[in-house]
Structure 1
Amino acid sequence: MNAIETLGPGLLERLPAAVQKPTYDRASLSPGMAHLGVGAFHRCHQAEYTDDLLSLKFDRWGIVGINIRPPALADTLGRQGGLYTRLIRENDHVEARIIGSIVKVVDSQDSAAPALAVLASPDIELVTMTVTEKGYCHIPSTGALDLGHPDIVHDLANPEAPRSLPGILALALEQRRATHGRKLTLLSCDNIPTNGVILENVVRSFAERRGNGLADWIAANAAFPSAMVDRIAPAVSPDDLDSVEQWFGYRDGAVAVGEPFRQWVIEQKFAGRMPRWDLAGATFVDDVTPFEHLKMRVLNGAQTTLATLGVLAGLEHTFDAIADPLLSVFVKRMLVEETLPTLTPVPGMEPNAYIEQSLGRLKNTAIRHRNHQIATDGSQKIVQRLLNPIRDRLNQGAGIGLLSVPVAGWMAYLILASARFGKRWPVSDPYAGRIAAIADETGRDAPALASAILTILAADETFRKTVTSALGELLSGDPMAAVRHSLEQDGVARLKRSKLSAL
């Protein structure tokens, strides 16, 4: 290659040998499934599993990628015929591979019609999705459809022109019932516990308000399996795009970057045929819950802890935070001493080994996962990652001195983004406005701030005391004092317990 060309089908045979290429005939693929939310994670996870499966056992399972929210796909994946480079990076090691499983892309940001044309097609037997926690328009504490959500209010008033995921899926299922009646499996791949249950709740709740027996038809003809997905895939940077050009000599506007580790656990609850992803390393199980809890509370709990405390400490990336000696000791002790006792055994996984593996993954210096990115939408994440294990610990009559610190960190992260505290950084969180209003009204009084915020979380008195203490220190000139003190207090408590047990 002389001039810099853009990746596309015509370039495949002329790529350097260092770049892996699809080993199957992409021209023979036809759409069999759709994916909503074609971002970095999908391109590093479900699309790669499908690419692996196509190489092992060729079938018709081409993916139609659909975005109903920005970014648009036409100018990136669309220009490249659905092809993109997946980079696996671990410290100094780089592995480049072209993924070919996406056969078509559809932009549906301005109107639901293009998405509906795909989702209602009889060719589509499966819909997967990664639309983030907010995309489900649900109430995180209950999993119920949020009837006050602006998009849900709009869609119930304008059911033929939906904006929301529940509205679009309900209308697609209604159109399938009216045109061909074929069954459909809808598989959430978002990082939400019992994501299949939540997806079914919001879609059927929306359909019930449509009437005409739609909810009953969905119950009989659609399946909503839960799934646990795992691979760290940070937002792609301009440097990532430039690196492909520098290393391999072509331009790719849809690069995806991930770590070597990946996992996909899928509930066996299908309406019809499913791709044999198990042949490519996925696991089909009857109950995803133990896998979800382990991953959410250990890996994701560590990420949220390191992200919020890392920002407060002035650290930019996850690997910067876990390289900090204080934060490294803190997060490991929190997981071992307070998180693990809340978990049920997971077949084939040794808990302490899983903690070591998870923390080791976070040390990967090539995965430039920014702490601010992980902290985004923290209010949607802390329930399953931190608050649920805290509730379990309180029910056990056990201490929560360590788990309370990252909850206070989440509060401090949002408080410091308020006008009262000088808006130290921009945030994206559904609770940001409410907490900014509390901060503006309350001022810098940590107990008053904590009390007002914890009212939202319906916290009990023990929780209030531990969080209030940590929050005051996190808002001080030495935010890591809360981390040091929690470790010191935990050490004293452990010494007392050991002395009592020796009596």
Structure 2
Amino acid sequence: MSPSPADHLSPALLDRLPPNVRKPAYDRAALRPGIAHIGVGAFHRCHQAEYTDDLLEHHFDRWGLIGINIRPPSLAETLGRQDSLYTRLIRQNDDVEARIIGSIVRVVDSQDSAAPALDVLAWPEIEIVTMTVTEKGYCHIPSSGALDLDHPDIVHDLANPHAPRSVPGILARALELRMASHGRPVTLLSCDNIPTNGIILGNVVRTFAERRGSTLANWIAANVAFPSAMVDRIAPATTKADIDTVEKRFGYRDSAVVIGERFRQWVIENRFVGRVPRWDLVGASFVDDVTPFEHLKMRVLNGAQTTLSYLGVLSGFKHTFEAIADPLLAGFVRRMLTEETLPTLMPVPGIVPTAYVEQSLSRLTNTAIHHRNHQIATDGSQKIVQRLLNPIRDRLAKGDSIALLSVPVAGWMAYLVKASARFGRAWQVSDPFADKIAAIADRIGSDIGALVEAILAVDAIFDPALAANRVFRAHVVAGLDGLLSDDPMGFVRQVLAEPTDDRLKQPARSA
């Protein structure tokens, strides 16, 4: 019997799904959890959970996943009532491919209290903890990577270590419980878009643990690994239209649908303690150094996404694919990447940088991936350091032009400034520094030079040496002035028309 549109996805429905829906090719009843994942959003379900599903099909072992959310949304309302099953759709323009992912065995809501998450994380059977908690989830200072000891959640957790609410606090408490109960080692694997994410994760957890005493800090040093990783797949937020697609095309309801592109990549530093899932058998790469891969991805693909998000919003485009379809914006991003970003990159084994640029831009043209520019623009203060400011710093150190790379930095500023009362509240923004930038804009108003000076003084984002660089400041002032004008795209057109601006160059190493 075929499913009806009233049928919700469940284990009992699997045998009645149409043949063009791929189903788990292993016995889910035999799964035992060995992985915990914090932050079970669209990206995890479209990436790490799928890799694990592939591994279970290829070489069945006890690597079932327990999904933990310490922030909304609630998992019980979606995954929980479907026995953790969900549909992963691959969308490429008009093509749709459906697959049921079965690697998640249980889901845990821990928004109201850390206790449910701690119970799972302290379990001796859990040998690896992965996480996608977004850049701001690490409670670090973006410009330095250090734990932000003034962060409200960190202040709370240091005062209440047995009832933490931050990721560093929860992990430190879970490790303390492991140390006190069974002492088994564990690998903590960040899967967020942060450069050297393993180092950042290790820094914030160890710094927090040191405040709890040397015993915990020493145990972590001997029993916990923090490998870095680079992850890549475009997976936008699910919409009602995506959920309706499953019902219309395949005949059943699924409230936990996720959408992704065909391309996926996972590069993991080969530094673990204890057992580790052999994701390398199903397409992931275990390498000695992730850095070249993460720089390439963050500065090229993510740099393009960030640039298109801010310039796209300022141009009136809702989605990435619409922004890159504009010849002016597409031409700007291509030139920025090839002329200014690529020279800052180190060689990447097996990858031709110029081909990677074209592949990345092609991926963004996928009309079935409705990635909203406002969504990509979220938390930009946590992203622009690695995507834009670091390559800018590298360029300035060699006395090279930053005429193009400085434009999206000014675009980030314009995006936040235009959300302020002084500039008309053009849109709502979500960024940890939104209120601070709005207050600056409301106080200073339309004096662009003073506005840039005040924003660059936010040293949690802008390294003071970079903020003081006269070339960088001059370009950002010109950029913000142009992008806040009545014709922002006229400014972009003007930048493209001008030759490399040697007048604003400076001697090497002054950044």
TM category, shorter = over 0.9
Q: Does 1:229 align with 2:231?
A: yes
**Residue 443 of structure 1: how far off its partner (Å):** 0.9
Q: Does 1:482 align with 2:484?
A: no
Q: Does 1:463 align with 2:472?
A: yes
Match of 1:220 in 2: 222
Match of 1:427 in 2: 429
Instruction: Give me the whole-angstrom Cα distance separating, in 2, the residues matched to 1:420 and 1:44.
Output: 40
Structure 2: stretches of 5+ with no match in the other structure:
504-511
Out of 167, 173, 176, the position equivalent to 1:174 is 176
Question: Which amino acid in structure 2 is aligned with residue 343 of structure 1?
Answer: L
Match of 1:473 in 2: 482
Residue 401 of structure 1 contacts residue 490 of structure 1 at CA under 8 Å; is this kept in 2? no
**Residue 491 of structure 1: how far off its partner (Å):** 6.0
Instruction: Give me the whole-angstrom Cα distance separating, in 2, the residues matched to 1:3 and 1:389.
Output: 50
Match of 2:448 in 1: 446
**Residue 75 of structure 1: how far off its partner (Å):** 1.3
Q: String of CA shifts for 1:347-367, please: whole Å, max 9, x gaps.
A: 000000000000000000000
**Residue 445 of structure 1: how far off its partner (Å):** 1.9
Percent of residue pairs identical? 73
Q: String of CA shifts for 1:341-385, please: whole Å, max 9, x gaps.
A: 000100000000000000000000000000000000001000000
Aligned residue for 2:370, secondary structure, equals coil
Q: Residues 110-129 of structure 1: matches in 2 within 5 Å? A: 110-129=112-131
Out of 354, 357, 368, the position equivalent to 1:355 is 357
Instruction: Give me the whole-angstrom Cα distance separating, in 1, the residues matched to 2:4 and 2:81.
Output: 20
Aligned residue for 1:35, secondary structure, equals strand
**Residue 3 of structure 1: how far off its partner (Å):** 5.5
**Residue 63 of structure 1: how far off its partner (Å):** 0.1
Q: Does 1:57 align with 2:59?
A: yes
**Residue 430 of structure 1: how far off its partner (Å):** 1.4
Instruction: Give me the whole-angstrom Cα distance separating, in 2, the residues matched to 1:354 and 1:343.
Output: 12
Out of 292, 297, 300, the position equivalent to 2:299 is 297
Question: Which amino acid in structure 1 is aligned with residue 474 of structure 2?
Answer: K
Q: String of CA shifts for 1:61-104, please: whole Å, max 9, x gaps.
A: 00000000000000110000010000000100100000000000
Out of 376, 379, 384, the position equivalent to 1:377 is 379
Mean CA deviation greater in 17-26 or 484-493: 484-493
**Residue 482 of structure 1: how far off its partner (Å):** 2.1
Instruction: Give me the whole-angstrom Cα distance separating, in 2, the residues matched to 1:202 and 1:482.
Output: 41
**Residue 2 of structure 1: how far off its partner (Å):** 3.7
Q: String of CA shifts for 1:207-242, please: whole Å, max 9, x gaps.
A: 100115100100100000000000000000111111
Question: Which amino acid in structure 2 is aligned with residue 61 of structure 1?
Answer: W
Q: String of CA shifts for 1:144-190, please: whole Å, max 9, x gaps.
A: 11100111111110111000111111111111111100000000000
Q: Residues 390-405 of structure 1: matches in 2 within 5 Å? A: 390-405=392-407
Q: Does 1:342 align with 2:344?
A: yes
Please tell me the root mean square deviation across aligned C-alpha atoms, in Å: 1.1
Question: Which amino acid in structure 1 is aligned with residue 472 of structure 2?
Answer: F
Residue 405 of structure 1 contacts residue 482 of structure 1 at CA under 8 Å; is this kept in 2? no
Match of 2:21 in 1: 19
Instruction: Give me the whole-angstrom Cα distance separating, in 2, the residues matched to 1:150 and 1:435.
Output: 19
Instruction: Give me the whole-angstrom Cα distance separating, in 2, the residues matched to 1:215 and 1:339.
Output: 39
Instruction: Give me the whole-angstrom Cα distance separating, in 2, the residues matched to 1:434 and 1:352.
Output: 38
Match of 2:508 in 1: none
Instruction: Give me the whole-angstrom Cα distance separating, in 2, the residues matched to 1:136 and 1:465.
Output: 32
Match of 1:200 in 2: 202
**Residue 299 of structure 1: how far off its partner (Å):** 0.3
Instruction: Give me the whole-angstrom Cα distance separating, in 2, the residues matched to 1:361 and 1:27.
Output: 37
Match of 1:323 in 2: 325
Instruction: Give me the whole-angstrom Cα distance separating, in 1, the residues matched to 2:76 and 2:379.
Output: 27
Residue 138 of structure 2 contacts residue 201 of structure 2 at CA under 8 Å; is this kept in 1? yes
TM-score by length of 2: 0.96
Instruction: Give me the whole-angstrom Cα distance separating, in 1, the residues matched to 2:368 and 2:9.
Output: 23
Match of 2:280 in 1: 278
Match of 1:35 in 2: 37
Residue 189 of structure 1 contacts residue 229 of structure 1 at CA under 8 Å; is this kept in 2? yes
Match of 2:507 in 1: none
Match of 1:499 in 2: none
Q: String of CA shifts for 1:253-305, please: whole Å, max 9, x gaps.
A: 10000000000000000011111101110000000000000000000000000
Aligned residue for 1:127, secondary structure, equals strand
Out of 267, 270, 274, the position equivalent to 2:269 is 267
Residue 402 of structure 1 contacts residue 490 of structure 1 at CA under 8 Å; is this kept in 2? no
Q: String of CA shifts for 1:308-336, please: whole Å, max 9, x gaps.
A: 00000000000011000100100000000
Instruction: Give me the whole-angstrom Cα distance separating, in 2, the residues matched to 1:46 and 1:348.
Output: 23
Question: Which amino acid in structure 2 is aligned with residue 419 of structure 1?
Answer: A
Say how many residue pairs are matched. 494
Q: Residues 123-202 of structure 1: matches in 2 within 5 Å? A: 123-202=125-204
Question: Which amino acid in structure 1 is aligned with residue 330 of structure 2?
Answer: S
Aligned residue for 1:356, secondary structure, equals helix
Aligned residue for 1:265, secondary structure, equals strand
Match of 2:10 in 1: 8
Match of 1:108 in 2: 110
Instruction: Give me the whole-angstrom Cα distance separating, in 2, the residues matched to 1:478 and 1:453.
Output: 23
Aligned residue for 1:330, secondary structure, equals helix
**Residue 486 of structure 1: how far off its partner (Å):** 1.2
Question: Which amino acid in structure 1 is aligned with residue 246 of structure 2?
Answer: V
Aligned residue for 2:79, secondary structure, equals helix
Aligned residue for 2:422, secondary structure, equals helix
Distance 1:266 1:193, change over 3 A: same
**Residue 246 of structure 1: how far off its partner (Å):** 1.1
Q: String of CA shifts for 1:81-132, please: whole Å, max 9, x gaps.
A: 0100000001001000000000000000011110011000011000000000
**Residue 453 of structure 1: how far off its partner (Å):** 1.3
**Residue 455 of structure 1: how far off its partner (Å):** 2.4
Instruction: Give me the whole-angstrom Cα distance separating, in 2, the residues matched to 1:215 and 1:482.
Output: 52
Aligned residue for 2:237, secondary structure, equals coil
Instruction: Give me the whole-angstrom Cα distance separating, in 1, the residues matched to 2:389 and 2:500.
Output: 22
Question: Which amino acid in structure 1 is aligned with residue 213 of structure 2?
Answer: G
Match of 2:92 in 1: 90
Residue 4 of structure 2 contacts residue 252 of structure 2 at CA under 8 Å; is this kept in 1? no
Question: Which amino acid in structure 2 is aligned with residue 461 of structure 1?
Answer: R
Match of 1:310 in 2: 312
